[in-house]
Structure 1
Amino acid sequence: MSVFPAGTAPVKAEYLISVDPLPVPDDDAAEGGGGGQISRHGRDAADTDVNNGGGRSKKERSKEEKKARQGQNKNRRFGKVRDEQDICFKIAAGILCEFGAECKYNHDLQTYLAAKPADLRMPTVDEVLKGGLEGVNTQPTQCPIFEEFGECKYGFKCRYLSAHIRKAPSDDGTETLSLIVDEQKKAHATISAKEVNYIGSETQKLLRTKKYPFTITDSYLRELQEADKREQELEKERKRLKEEREKAAEEGNAVVLFEPEQMQEVMAKDGAAKIQERTAMDVSSAPQADISTPDVPIRFSEKNRLDWKGKSYLAPLTTVGNLPFRRLCISYGVDITCGEMGLATSFLSGSKEEWSLVRRHPSERTFGVQIAGNKPNTLVPTAEVLAKECGSQGGIDFVDVNCGCPIDLVFKTGSGSARIVESLADIYLPPTVLDAPGKLGKAIIGMNKVLGSIPVTIKLRTGVKDGRNTAEKLMTRAVGGSGENGWGVGCITLHGRTRQQRYTKLADWEYIRQCVDAVRAREADEDLPPVPIFGNGDCFSSHDYHSTVEQYHVDGVMVGRGALIKPWIFTEIKEHREWDISSRERLEGIKKLAEFGLSHFGSDTSGINTTRRYLCEALSFQYRYLPIGLLEVLPARINDRAPSFRGRDELENLLASPDSADWVKISEMFLGPAPEAFVFVPKHKSNAYESQG
């Protein structure tokens, strides 16, 4: 066995080039922990350094500031690539345009088709391998969208047009072109393939103009306002009593006034009955309403129970975790999926990009929507819209509140992992007053009201700063429902890291177990129904998943980076094996992801290159997979750095390339040549280069 530096993957001698470990991307910085910003729809925005470190020059910046800006590429721009000569979408779909000559788009179909690039061909993996890694000849082929849906809504704009076009001679000697529709496939696709959770333009308009009716939310927020007023009155009364007590002490009175046990009597004498009533009020006992029948309350016990024990859960992932990638993971066997994180404020502003994040494919058996917000007056109305627009069609199974996002853009608004701090700091515990929930608790209670039977789940980090774990306090408060002085969460996921901690440190699974045991103890003491608790952090194999569940008492493991690097991890988990996946099998998964991308983003020029962009995003993680057949010791560990190695074949070498130009090359195998204007820049600086010769 070779001698490797600590933290280096043990590659067998016959595949080893050098024991020196290769540089690895900084996942923490790329996730946004170092100041990066993530814009909507998973797109990265430029991070302009307006302040420049408080007026200091670059040389004067501290090491911490420099470190904070390492690892992530700023100024990523991915503009849409369109046909040089475009055409009206309705004409392209084979229907009349109601605007006629007044339409601002081109209606000349023949001119458009004459200028349109040649059709593309989606080859099989066999054809790719037989034709060499330079790709195959582009010939007419099947259209992925037509094959799945029985029709292609992109019509004449489709780059696989010859698969669904009929040509017939006309009387004047020219050809008549018509689009083909397969009615049988179309009917079947309505059930098996059609995405759901489309939010109509009218709903978006009502949200943008702030005219959307929030019936239940408005009622709940009024309750909170009244409660806040009573709390303010209570605070004034406590200050007055404290001042009188201090004054009596200064005057030398022998009687100590207003001890805690005398508080209620004093308050009653001073006419503070309303305040006393507030102290006895348990906010969590507020009635919960079913969206379909707002006047009929729903008890916590009637909420849909989440039976998730032993299931695999794909983490909500920005940028890469879109619908096509989730479909790929489903094909590998994942049980639970969740959409990319969306901001509550953007949902409420009717953002088209934000609402695209809630789309669900029928193959997603258990699907949730994740939202981030910092106040009940944004989280609760967002939940109400989700319930009304998506819940009625069975489009969501749960709504997850992100209390663990480390991204600066999210954290600095008081969302994400900032909720851990704020919700604890917001708790006010006077000696004679019942414990009142903080903003997070109030938001979750309100969300439970407006969501009806749909459960609310939360995702937490262990804390914000290293050495100051706080998740246990939140988790024990979050369980239980109406009447049990809890928040009524349906599931808790705990990422075993603080916001401050970097990915180079392993997740703290001992603390996760401590939190699980604390929650289970409270549930046992108060006879509460148990909620599923998932852990998150460093799961990279079937062994990791099953040993973690057994050792740390969690109901399951949420998988994030492990799924990005090897989406087939869910097959390993389900089949209890370590899969030495071949390069051919990996390429088949890449082809499948390309097809799913075309189905979701479109088969026109713009859709193909959007698919290409997100395929390259996925490859910017998958290249980091080190085939386990090359290792001396199993299982592989996620934080082990790979030494310089050679694969077992040419394709395995290509799939391991950190050169972003090679990822574009792989995309060209299935999506055709990339346009000259197409440039892919990944998140991570350490894999952002192209070979210089």
Structure 2
Amino acid sequence: MNYATGSVVDDDAAEGATAHTGTGGNNSLPSEEPDARSGEGGRKKLTKEQKKAQRGANKGRKFGKIRDDLELCWRVANGKFCEFGSECRFTHDVEAYLAAKPKDIRFPSASNITDTPPFVQELSNTDYESFANGKYPSLDLKTICPGFEEIGECRLGLKCRYLGAHAGIDEDGALALVADEEKQMKAGSAAELNYVSQEALKLLRSRKYPRPVTDAYLKELESMDQDVSAKEIREKIDNDISQQELDNDAIILQRTGDNISQVDSPDVPMRFSEKKRLRWEGKSYLAPLTTVGNLPFRRLCVSLGADITCGEMGLATSFLSASKEEWSLVRRHPSETTFGVQLAGNKPSTMVPTAEILGKEFAGSIDFVDVNCGCPIDLVFRTGSGSALLDTPGKLGKILIGMNKALGEIPVTVKLRTGVKDGRNTAHKLMPRLGSEFNVGCITLHGRTRQQRYTKLADWNYIKQCVEAVRTREKDEDLPPIPIFGGGDCFSAQDYWSNVEETGVDGIMVGRGALIKPWIFTEIKERREWDISSRERLELIGKYAEYGLSHFGTDTAGVNTTRRYLCEALSFHYRYVPIGLLERLPGRINDRPPAFKGRDELETLLASGDSRDWVKISEMFLGPAPELWSFTPKHKSNAHGEESQG
């Protein structure tokens, strides 16, 4: 295959505005400029600033929630009593709801998938098995509910679009929900973790959540000279802890004499040297990715070999304001054996309390908290967050020291870029301080500046220079080595292992490479390039859909939220060029081949950049898209026409 430079996809979409819900989420970043279209006669001439504002991702995208035409009360749907009675704004008429409900969706098994049209074997009307002798024609006894299969019950009850899998007839002849006790007993290994309590959200909204560590730390900062170094702050904290230990020992001795063992010592903050060390050498790391790096996608990557995962970037201010969308970002699947939360913020007064609350609410179920010092998007940078922190190491140090104190034994990690502006790399100066002065547990360096975005290849020579600077400082000060991960353009097992060997990093954080081909983690583990077939790829897409339904829900809203995020994933996945079509191996992430015909019709379909084809692929697993549903891709070059793409 001959390569040509086609339209370059703006990969900032992977790091752009988050959208946690079907309506866009609270972190959606609105466009700063009006749309370029003017009237019916064409376009206005854009200024340089307007062109810059509109470059790349579609901004201000909105995804309305699709609901049932007749909405059933969720309490009634689960066989519970609704305290609102006739005043409830949702219907309680189960028979009317079921009569208006669309037909159950049949989720295909792997045996139904082929590489010839229609790719998923369609079911004839005779394949559907009616329920209760045709009394409930929308129900299909042969369907399978992903949620029910995992935990033995369905939290959506009668609203589930796979209802036939967990419905039965009770003694009175009425429709009833069923449960699988055997699966329920095993549900602990499948149920998601890290649900924030309603009490915690209530305390946050009223600003009454107790934050003793934060309050003490911020008071210490106020009493210190503004120019005091982060290292001096850390030393003072350690000295204060030592003094507190001495005072506590004296109290115990006075109270008990020689019988010290009978009295528990008062709690003492943890010294920085006592933090849990991260042993991540040789592990693969899926980068935190906004929008597309949600729990179903992380779960898919874990099933393919990813060792370390991190949630989507969350804003400290949104956590503190009790945003449910933000708190949903800490949700974790049990299969994620090493999981972290990523925070973005610009000062100790927001980052430290957020860290303290995370440590209290999820002690034992969060393995690390990552500080984002690499996000390049303007609306994050202009607030002093993300990559802006690279130019304020003093403030960054105060944030990291406070977070370390607030999190107890949970380590703090940092993700950063090489610098802010081209030609002004600063990471080699900052990184040695992160471990020795700020007690960071792991450093990840993306080999580009903020200004570069994705316009040039990552600078792995500079990453090597930064690794050497850190190791030299550790050797000089006799410090234990901390894990260092590199990042940028990793798209194959060869990329991964050659960069590990040549630069001395402990591993590589994989971002865009995982979005385009999630099986890259299998390639890394097995040190090979996988010429994956189109059928295997479609099976993985089906797996993602299954995980999405388990996470977002199996009702009408959940099915179409899953559809939306599946299409987001396909907006990267279509860029994969099969190994069997390449002239040289391995493939490179920035190759832009011309349109090609695959080795079979399915491979050609999966390479389509038309977002309407992505919707068609989603329909293979999630049923027909509603008439009012549409998908607007982040990448403008993929928006073929303005009509609804459902």
TM-score range, shorter chain: 0.7 to 0.9
Distance across 2 between alignment mates of 1:493 and 1:279: 23
> Is 1:142 equivalent to 2:127 in the alignment?
no
Q: Which amino acid aligns with 1:476?
A: P
Q: Which moved more, 1:95-104 or 1:510-519?
A: 95-104
1:218 corresponds to which of 203, 215, 218: 215
* Cα distance, 1:612–1:293 mapped onto 2, change above 3 Å: farther
Distance across 2 between alignment mates of 1:565 and 1:335: 18
Aligned 8 A contact 1:38 1:409 in 2: no
Which position in structure 2 is the counterpart of 1:167? 169
Which position in structure 2 is the counterpart of 1:115? 100
* Cα distance, 1:337–1:65 mapped onto 2, change above 3 Å: same
TM-superposed CA distance for 1:168, in Å, is: 4.1
1:447 corresponds to which of 393, 398, 403: 403
Alpha-carbon displacement from aligned partner over 1:345-377 (angstroms, at most 9, x marks no partner)? 000000000000000000000000000000001
Alpha-carbon displacement from aligned partner over 1:474-505 (angstroms, at most 9, x marks no partner)? 1111112xxxxx10000000000001103131
Distance across 2 between alignment mates of 1:501 and 1:123: 43
* Cα distance, 1:322–1:418 mapped onto 2, change above 3 Å: same
TM-score (norm 2): 0.88
TM-superposed CA distance for 1:439, in Å, is: 1.1
Aligned 8 A contact 1:167 1:178 in 2: yes
TM-superposed CA distance for 1:128, in Å, is: 3.8
Which position in structure 1 is the counterpart of 2:260? none
Distance across 1 between alignment mates of 2:216 and 2:467: 35
The 5 Å alignment of 1:431-470 reads 438-470=394-426
Q: Which amino acid aligns with 1:598?
A: L
Distance across 1 between alignment mates of 2:570 and 2:147: 23
> Is 1:186 equivalent to 2:204 in the alignment?
no
* Cα distance, 1:203–1:188 mapped onto 2, change above 3 Å: same
Aligned 8 A contact 1:457 1:491 in 2: yes
Which position in structure 2 is the counterpart of 1:431? none
Distance across 2 between alignment mates of 1:315 and 1:38: 15
> Is 1:396 equivalent to 2:333 in the alignment?
no
Which position in structure 2 is the counterpart of 1:264? none
Which position in structure 1 is the counterpart of 2:339? 367
Distance across 2 between alignment mates of 1:182 and 1:279: 60
The 5 Å alignment of 1:33-48 reads 37-38=17-18, 43=25, 44-48=28-32
- Select the structure of larger CA radius of gyration: 1
SS at match of 2:386: coil
Which position in structure 2 is the counterpart of 1:421? 391
SS at match of 1:73: coil
Q: Percent identity?
A: 65
* Cα distance, 1:337–1:443 mapped onto 2, change above 3 Å: same
Aligned 8 A contact 2:411 2:441 in 1: yes
Which position in structure 2 is the counterpart of 1:321? 293
- Aligned residue pairs, count: 594
Which position in structure 2 is the counterpart of 1:132? 118
Q: Which amino acid aligns with 1:549?
A: V
* Cα distance, 1:628–1:602 mapped onto 2, change above 3 Å: same
Which position in structure 2 is the counterpart of 1:411? 381
Distance across 2 between alignment mates of 1:659 and 1:202: 46
Q: Which amino acid aligns with 1:680?
A: F
Which position in structure 1 is the counterpart of 2:517? 566
Distance across 2 between alignment mates of 1:65 and 1:78: 24
Alpha-carbon displacement from aligned partner over 1:97-134 (angstroms, at most 9, x marks no partner)? 23333333211111111111111110123324377247
Aligned 8 A contact 2:117 2:601 in 1: no
TM-score (norm 1): 0.82
Which position in structure 1 is the counterpart of 2:280? 308
* Cα distance, 1:583–1:690 mapped onto 2, change above 3 Å: farther
Distance across 2 between alignment mates of 1:308 and 1:177: 52
Q: Which amino acid aligns with 1:136?
A: E
* Cα distance, 1:279–1:419 mapped onto 2, change above 3 Å: closer
Which position in structure 1 is the counterpart of 2:159? 157
The 5 Å alignment of 1:640-679 reads 640-679=591-630
Alpha-carbon displacement from aligned partner over 1:58-106 (angstroms, at most 9, x marks no partner)? 53612x6524422221231101100000011010011122333333321
Gaps of 5+ in 1: 9-19, 232-277, 424-437, 481-485
Distance across 1 between alignment mates of 2:468 and 2:117: 57
* Cα distance, 1:563–1:210 mapped onto 2, change above 3 Å: same
SS at match of 2:370: strand
Of structures 1 and 2, the one with the larger relative CO (CA 8 A, separation 6+) is: 1
Which position in structure 2 is the counterpart of 1:82? 67
Which position in structure 2 is the counterpart of 1:535? 486
* Cα distance, 1:109–1:228 mapped onto 2, change above 3 Å: farther
Which position in structure 2 is the counterpart of 1:332? 304
Alpha-carbon displacement from aligned partner over 1:280-299 (angstroms, at most 9, x marks no partner)? 98211214989x99831212
Distance across 2 between alignment mates of 1:30 and 1:546: 24
Distance across 2 between alignment mates of 1:412 and 1:284: 28
2:354 corresponds to which of 382, 390, 404: 382
The 5 Å alignment of 1:344-359 reads 344-359=316-331
> Is 1:28 equivalent to 2:28 in the alignment?
no
Q: Which amino acid aligns with 1:185?
A: K
* Cα distance, 1:51–1:24 mapped onto 2, change above 3 Å: closer
Aligned 8 A contact 1:463 1:498 in 2: yes
SS at match of 2:326: helix
Q: Which moved more, 1:667-676 or 1:137-146?
A: 137-146
Distance across 2 between alignment mates of 1:181 and 1:28: 45
Alpha-carbon displacement from aligned partner over 1:602-644 (angstroms, at most 9, x marks no partner)? 0000000000000000000000000011112101111111122
Distance across 2 between alignment mates of 1:492 and 1:355: 24
Aligned 8 A contact 1:87 1:108 in 2: yes
TM-superposed CA distance for 1:413, in Å, is: 0.7
Aligned 8 A contact 2:319 2:327 in 1: yes
Instruction: Give the aligned CA root-mean-square deviation in angstroms.
Output: 2.4
Aligned 8 A contact 2:286 2:511 in 1: yes
1:637 corresponds to which of 563, 567, 588: 588
SS at match of 1:296: coil
* Cα distance, 1:279–1:132 mapped onto 2, change above 3 Å: closer
* Cα distance, 1:134–1:123 mapped onto 2, change above 3 Å: closer
* Cα distance, 1:408–1:511 mapped onto 2, change above 3 Å: same
Q: Which amino acid aligns with 1:459?
A: K
Which position in structure 2 is the counterpart of 1:228? 225
Distance across 2 between alignment mates of 1:51 and 1:656: 30
Q: Which amino acid aligns with 1:666?
A: I
Aligned 8 A contact 1:380 1:446 in 2: yes
Alpha-carbon displacement from aligned partner over 1:165-194 (angstroms, at most 9, x marks no partner)? 112463xxxx3111111111112112x111
TM-superposed CA distance for 1:209, in Å, is: 1.3
* Cα distance, 1:294–1:97 mapped onto 2, change above 3 Å: farther
Q: Which amino acid aligns with 2:122?
A: V
Aligned 8 A contact 1:536 1:559 in 2: yes
Aligned 8 A contact 1:40 1:342 in 2: no
Alpha-carbon displacement from aligned partner over 1:393-437 (angstroms, at most 9, x marks no partner)? x210000000000111211110000000122xxxxxxxxxxxxxx
Aligned 8 A contact 1:128 1:136 in 2: no
Gaps of 5+ in 2: 37-42, 129-139, 245-263
SS at match of 2:107: coil
Alpha-carbon displacement from aligned partner over 1:529-569 (angstroms, at most 9, x marks no partner)? 11000001000000000000000110100000000000000
* Cα distance, 1:281–1:559 mapped onto 2, change above 3 Å: closer
Distance across 2 between alignment mates of 1:314 and 1:648: 30
Distance across 2 between alignment mates of 1:40 and 1:673: 23
Which position in structure 2 is the counterpart of 1:284? 234
Distance across 1 between alignment mates of 2:222 and 2:29: 37
